[in-house]
Amino acid sequence: MVSVRIQDKNGFNIIGVKTWIPGIDNNAFGEFWKRCHAEGKIGGIKTYAKKADASETHSEILGVSCTENDPNVRSFYFYVAVETEERERKDDYEIRFIKPYTWAIFSNEGHDIHALMECEMYAWKEWLPNNGKYLHDNGPELEVYFQENKIEYWVPVKEKEDVAC
């Protein structure tokens, strides 16, 4: 069962590797994760990670969809990354700053694609259209993975403006 909470978070740096996701190709994400594991990129990225309890996401590793220009355009850069204190590029890894946002955080049990997809479907099909208070805030969307058996999907949100009649 997916649960949701709203939280304000400070900005933070990520370090990782990226790939271009060409449209609605969900297989591209899984293939990129597999390639990162096979090439040892995950272990390399983790050497630059902040301690989970000192980070904004409290995560082990992140998937970051750079949809800030327009969340309806589903072609974008995707990072496999960790939060970091680093400020400059290291090895083959890029640095990116995630600015402060208010986040709608969708949590679910599990580490697999099905748990993540439940979060995403709930966010886009049920919660965002029906919550009455928040809209997507044109920022990156995060897949947040933990040591324990849970996953989170973070969507940047902003309050809807009151519309006067």
Look at residue 165 and tell me whether its pLDDT is greater than 60.
no
Q: What's the rounded Cα separation, in Å, for the pair 165 and 160?
A: 15
Residue range 93-106: average pLDDT?
96
- Supply 116's token pair: 């993540």
pTM of the full structure: 0.92
Q: Which of 148, 142, 9, 4 is nearest to 66 (CA)?
A: 142
Q: Which of 158, 136, 144 is nearest to 73 (CA)?
A: 136
pLDDT band of 141, cuts 50, 70, 90: very high
Look at residue 163 and tell me whether its pLDDT is greater than 60.
no
Domain 3-159 in CATH: superfamily?
Answer: Regulatory factor, effector binding domain (3.20.80.10)
| pLDDT tens figures, 37-71 | 999 999 999 999 998 888 999 999 999 999 876 66
- Supply 139's token pair: 């920022």
Residue range 122-135: average pLDDT?
95
Q: What is the pLDDT of residue 15?
A: 96
Residue 64 backbone dihedrals phi, psi, to 5 degrees: -125, 115
